[in-house]
Amino acid sequence: MENSATPEWGGCQGLCGIEKSVWAHLLPYRDVVIHIAFSGGIDSSALLNICARLAQRFSLNLRALHVNHGWSTEAARWEDFCRREACRAGIAFSSTRLTGEDSMVVKGEAEAREGRYRWLRDQVSEDGVLLTAHHGDDQAETLLFRLMRGASVNGLGSIRPLSEVADLTILRPLLGCSRQEILEYVQTRKLDYLIDPSNSNTAYDRNFLRHQVIPTFEKRWPRAKPILARTAQSLCEAQALLDEVALDDLARCKQVDHGCRFFVLDAISRKALLTLSERRQQNALRFWLRETGGITATEKALAEFIRQLQSGAAAPLMRFNGSRGPRSVRVFRNGVFMLPESESSTLAARPQTESWDGSNVTMNSVDVLLEARPVLGAGVRRDCIEGQNLEWRWRKGNTALRPANGSGRSRRLRILFQEMGIPPWERERMPMLFANGEFVCVPGLVIDQAFAASRDVPGVRLELSDLRSTGVRPVR
């Protein structure tokens, strides 16, 4: 790493060990905006100073980000301090004050974490990186903390040097350094920093570990912190092996052919999944949830879901608020589907009918965009739409129709849905068009023959697009 013969390391003369260590981590990101999570405490103050010194040598593009949680009467002063320190270092600065409902300051740690990452995600560009000041002592504390919470191997792997959280690339360049090394750096550079009085309150679990448990360990085992950090690294490696097994298993379980018309994050085969041993089923599902949906499922929820899969239950279901938004895992026939959900879209709030004027419309209650495109010899006859009393309905009931291009006999809509393999949760979102009280069509699926445009007859093609997808695509 410290070979001065390479161009990257040619300008490192005069840097101390901790600065060289940070630069080794920053090298791959020297051409993107590097964001620094800056609380003003001793660790992030050291990181800010190190990055500022590196920026002078290597022309880095830096930006400091501060989150004011509003938990202390000193919060505003701390924010001002961070702004001044960033300005003194020549680093761009942005801050936010987290608020909950009705503009009240957020109270819970989970709510604060969600709000913090949401803001950070908005601030960090897609190709940018966020630095945090976690260090080796944090690694030891986190391992013990998660051990007492009964975490899995993945959780016990503790803090990774590089990870993706809520679609953020997070880099922790101080993870190989101890708290003592950081303190010595701060003292040598004579840096100012903030002291949060709550950090000494042992009523908080992490403070209890830091001030009481680990010092007791170190009296008996002086190298307790690096040993715990090494154990966390071993667990990371074990998890990496489990992830490789999961990837192989999921490749065999890939569910490609299904009847879904709306956006699906991913789908796997129930039958193929159940051919695996139960441990591998759990491992594959755990990895799938984490990597595809940003979801961490409890062991209890995972075991119950697998039990339902094994018993052949009709509609096993899991719902989560993951780091990437609301998600659900649903089962239909042989498919296990991961889907984006909408907090605002509930059956109770959904209207049963909506009037329509024939133009493009966003149906917010079901997160669907409807577009009407003029065509010739296809779609719904234009004269069936223009000047008619049009409405959208969602209650399917026993709706009957004679499908265009069919045998001419009457069919039940619910039977057609089943034959097409459309899952029940999608049927609930698909609107039916009625003109003057008569069924016309379900856009993208079926048109009653009485309303279908024949050859050379002006028509209107109706397309539905799923607004829950990252890229809107029509239902055809």
**Strand 61-68, strand 92-97: pairing:** parallel
Residue with tokens 């490696």: 237
Cα Rg, the chain, nearest whole Å: 29
pLDDT (tens place) for every residue of the chain, 476 residues total? 344 334 455 567 778 999 999 999 999 999 999 999 999 999 999 999 999 999 999 999 999 999 998 888 889 999 999 999 999 999 999 999 986 543 344 456 667 777 888 899 899 988 899 999 999 999 999 999 999 988 889 889 878 899 887 678 999 999 999 999 999 999 999 999 999 888 899 998 999 999 999 999 999 999 999 999 999 999 999 999 999 999 999 999 997 778 799 999 999 999 999 999 999 999 999 999 998 888 888 888 899 999 999 998 878 889 888 777 789 999 999 999 999 987 654 445 566 789 999 999 999 888 999 999 999 999 999 998 888 999 999 987 789 999 998 888 999 999 999 999 999 999 999 999 999 999 999 999 999 999 999 999 999 999 999 998 854 444 44
Could you give the CA distance from residue 472 to residue 467 in angstroms, rounded to a whole number? 6
Distance CA(460)–CA(209), nearest Å, equals: 67
Q: Which residues are registered as beta bridge partners of 326? A: 321
Q: Which tokens hold the place of 291?
A: 């990597």
Q: What is the DSSP string of 217-234?
A: HHHH-TTHHHHHHHHHHH
Rounded-to-integer distance, Cα 361 and Cα 415, Å:
28
Cross-strand pairs, 92: 63
Residues 6+ apart with CB under 8 A from 279: none
What pTM value is reported for the model? 0.79
Specify the amino acid at residue 134.
H
Quote the CA–CA distance of 214 and 199 in Å, as a whole number: 15
CB 416 within 8 A of CB 403: yes
Interatomic CA distance for residues 413 and 425, integer angstroms: 15
What are the structural domains of the chain? 7-236 (3.40.50.620), 253-340 (3.30.465.60), 347-475 (no CATH)
